[in-house]
Amino acid sequence: MQKKKLLNGTIKRHPDGFGFFIPDDIGHPDVYIPRNSMEGIMTNDKVVIEAFPEKGTERFRGEIIRVLARGTKTVVGRFYKMNERVGAIRDEGKGWGQDLKIKIEDSLNAKDKELVAAEIVTYPEQGKSFTGKVTEIIGDALDPLTDIKRVIRSNNIPLEFSKSTLEEAKNFSEVPDEKDFKGRRDLRDKNLITIDGATAKDFDDAVYVEVTDEGFLLYVAIADVSHYVRIGSSIDKDAYERGTSVYFPNYVVPMLPEVLSNGLCSLNPHVPRLCLVAEMLFDFTGEMKRSDFYEAVMESKARVTYGEAQEVIDGSDVEKLSHVKENILRLADLAKILMAKRFKEGSLDLEIPETELVIDGAGVPIDIQRSERLFSHRLIEEMMLAANVGVAKFLSSRNIPALYRIHEPPNEMAIRVLEKYLANFGGKTKLGQGKLQKRLTKALEEFENRPEAQILHILTLRSMSQAKYSMNNVGHFGLGFEFYTHFTSPIRRYPDLIVHRLLKNQVMPNSGYRLMSEDDLSSAGTILSAAEQRSTKAERQVQSIKKARFMEKFVGQEFDGMISSVAKFGVFVLLREYDVDGLVRLDDLGGDRFEYDEENLRLVAKKSGFAYGIGDMIRIQVAAADPELGQINFVLAGVEKEESEDERTPAEVSADSFLKKLHGQQKERSFRPSKDQGRDRERRPERGERREERGAFAKGGRKDSRQEFIKKDKARGEERPFKKDKGPRSKFFGDSRKDEQGQREKIQKIERQFNFKPGSREDDEKRGPDKSLLDMILGPEKYRKDGEETPAKDKPKLSKKLMFAEQSKLRDNDDYSEKNSDSLKHRTPDRKDSKKRGKTENDSRGVRKARLSPSRGKGKAR
């Protein structure tokens, strides 16, 4: 048996209060941290825990010993003015454990509900409270112009450069000095060009290809950032902290100051620039024969956009590019050869369309469209892939510690799930035979040019592990490369800058660039992978916010879409007209109750058998859009919603259900409850269903009102046998019929089954709980006399379901709490007058009391 052990790692706080610990030791599984150990602990805190295995499972449970470092130092949220002395930023994301208190004098005079950034002053530990002070007033939380700033602050992305960095940046000139050209190869006579998007401002790669007798000689020139950003400088420290540039619509948070990112290190046309070149020779089958790496000086001959390059490839004459036309066509020829070779060897070809947001000057999205993937995009990608592979092979051949871009194979479970998806769509290819990349490619080819192809490409991407930076080269699964690194974007990615320095150390021994230790590289891989993930998360958040803002104007309108994902709580629908997806909650899928079919990855109606699966076409109506949270909700088109008035606790609903079932009343559906019931009875909630997720219940085909049924029958010439009964309803039987014979038959049936007779039903409303029901739960009177012990064998056999139901209803209702429940007390009723009650006292020999945890409130009984 494994013993307790101490582990270092990161904590993730769940909204319900418990946590999950992610160990630094990647070989150890995650550890569950109970709620009582999470006091004062916040998401992303570095902690030490004591972990121990749970009995009978492979899981681990732990207790937090101490906090090593706080993961959250600043927070963003709305400032709520509590009173004249203090305000607060609420823990709406449930990642802190409590609200952040801010004194009014530390609020920078923020207005109520204004969006602010705050620095944490004291953390909730060792008796301290959770306090902070406002450092910046961002503005109105609903203002579109604050969307990006809010996301930047909430993700702790550094926005301003340090003063020392800005001072260093002032020392750079607009053009390189002639002295910097010394010792470099001069490539200014080569027709090197940049190919980028129309809105790009920084150009860090240029390409040129020549055709020789041996094949294609490719030049990939990359901006020489390492020449300007020296190790240990303030610019270098700020760049390392950022890790990457972050790209938002109409806004960029750069890794380097603008004088470098848009100036000296940007390969702008017709100006000299310092570069680091990967020169590679490929034969006519795409095989790399040799490679060479060196410093150079170059001059871009044209700034080409993807659209312009595509026009040239398609045969159109673009006058301003006539001098580089042959270069573009040769690049296209080489790209086709390299693509064919790569896919033949197993590289995955996942076409995931990117979203393009069109934003106006006020920050309001005016259109959302899928960005078009042209061959010119693939052209430049193939050149970059070739350079990255060439550099990775070179560094590996030198046997030096280096930083690689790795992508581990997906786990077996993820592949099995993906195989189910493919089979549900009608795919025939099995993924467990042969090289996985080739099997995946073949499986996806079966759906080429079909509507569900896009969904399957997204699902395949989701099944993959996340690519990251590491000194341990395990290859790149998705691309099918044994050697791969990032070399081509040092302006916007710090890992590329590290690779440049390592490469220069090898090709220019006297350059002064040093190798990095394995420990430093390992740390860099972890830190820079996290920075990339932070950037990706922020970019997706802004997209979600802008999409929700865009869909606000379409609330109430209908669209066609395709189900892109199925979960236990509903389905996500991707619209055909816009690259937008939203959630249709389980409660909004119609009148039937749906269950999640995990085996076939569907939601199946319990009664009708109707199912919703990935790829199904569906028409929806936009129900709500929340720009603050970046969430969009849909409902089925043409389905009206009905407000829920059922305020009962789950235990009450469950108890009523058990009682109904026991008395045979489940077969008859009540269309409209009588007044004395006091509530509109809705569907019984699913086991484990969260109360906050029980929204309005949509009407389905089977939810017509009673009057509508009668109208339909009359139209057909039929008459329904039932009529509306305005008389009192029996509390015991739940039956409103006046048929005396039917009542007698029911009483006889109960007498035979439970060996008792119900008492008089007069004054039911005044008398309270029916005596016969109490007899049924507590046993006949003779078993409840004071001080009288009855052998267990002589006691009546009670229904366990009924006992549980009654207990549940009692303990979750103020009127029938454990403290005053008649069912849990001995009664001595006045025999002469049933309306009067005698004295009561607790009797431990009755039904056992419901056990309540002292820390739990009403409705939280175990």
Q: Could you tell me whether strands 594-597 and 602-605 are parallel, antiparallel, or unpaired per DSSP bridges? A: antiparallel
Give the number of C-alpha atoms closer than 13 A to the C-alpha of residue 665, restricted to the C-beta side. Answer: 18
Q: How would DSSP label each residue in 551-603?
A: HGGGTT-EEEEEEEEEETTEEEEEESSSS-EEEEEGGGS-SS-EEEETTTTEE
The pLDDT assigned to 783 comes to 43
Taking residues 391-417, report their average pLDDT. Answer: 92
With cut-offs at 50, 70 and 90, classify the pLDDT of residue 401: very high
Write the DSSP symbol of residue 67.
E
The pLDDT assigned to 755 comes to 52
The pLDDT assigned to 650 comes to 46
The pLDDT assigned to 156 comes to 87
Taking residues 679-698, report their average pLDDT. Answer: 35
**Residue 511 pLDDT more than 90?**
no
Most confident option among 6-15, 305-314, 424-433, 842-851:
305-314
Write the DSSP symbol of residue 734.
-
**Residue 563 pLDDT more than 70?**
yes
Residues 6-49: pLDDT tens digits? 999 998 887 778 888 988 887 788 888 988 888 889 888 899 99
Q: Mean pLDDT of all residues in the chain?
A: 78
Between CA 126 and CA 143 the distance in angstroms is 39
**Residue 700 pLDDT more than 50?**
no
**Residue 56 pLDDT more than 80?**
no
Taking residues 351-375, report their average pLDDT. Answer: 79
3-state helix, strand, coil in the chain (%, to 5): 30, 25, 45
Between CA 663 and CA 652 the distance in angstroms is 17
Within 10 A of 391 (CB to CB), how many other CB atoms are there? 29
The pLDDT assigned to 770 comes to 52
The pLDDT assigned to 753 comes to 55
Within 10 A of 574 (CB to CB), how many other CB atoms are there? 17
Taking residues 426-436, report their average pLDDT. Answer: 77
Q: Are 97 and 17 in contact (CB under 8 A)?
A: yes
Between CA 382 and CA 379 the distance in angstroms is 5
**Residue 451 pLDDT more than 90?**
no
Residues 711-741: pLDDT tens digits? 444 454 544 444 444 444 433 334 444 455 6
Which residue did the predictor score with more confidence, 471 or 3? Answer: 471
Which residue did the predictor score with more confidence, 355 or 187? Answer: 187
In this prediction the pTM is: 0.66
The pLDDT assigned to 443 comes to 83
Most confident option among 18-22, 198-202, 558-562, 647-651:
558-562
The pLDDT assigned to 765 comes to 44
| b/e burial code for range 813-829 (CB count within 10 A of at least 16 → b) | beebebeebebbebbeb
Write the DSSP symbol of residue 320.
G
Give the number of C-alpha atoms closer than 13 A to the C-alpha of residue 338, restricted to the C-beta side. Answer: 26
Q: How far is CA 236 from the centre of its chain?
A: 33
Between CA 659 and CA 749 the distance in angstroms is 16
Q: Could you tell me whether strands 631-636 and 581-585 are parallel, antiparallel, or unpaired per DSSP bridges? A: parallel
Give ∠ CA 600-606-611 in degrees, rounded to 5. Answer: 45
**Residue 209 pLDDT more than 80?**
yes
Give ∠ CA 682-687-690 in degrees, rounded to 5. Answer: 75
With cut-offs at 50, 70 and 90, classify the pLDDT of residue 338: very high
Residues 131-158: pLDDT tens digits? 999 998 888 777 788 899 889 988 889 9
683 CB contacts (<8 Å, ≥6 apart)? 593, 697
Q: How far is CA 810 from the centre of its chain?
A: 39
What are the CA-CA distances from residue 272 to residues 178, 776, 779 (Å)?
A: 10, 95, 98
Residues 239-258: pLDDT tens digits? 999 999 999 988 899 999 99
> Which among 503, 500, 505 is positioned nearest to 222, based on CA atoms?
500
Taking residues 432-446, report their average pLDDT. Answer: 80
**For the chain, percent of residues with pLDDT exceeding 90:** 42
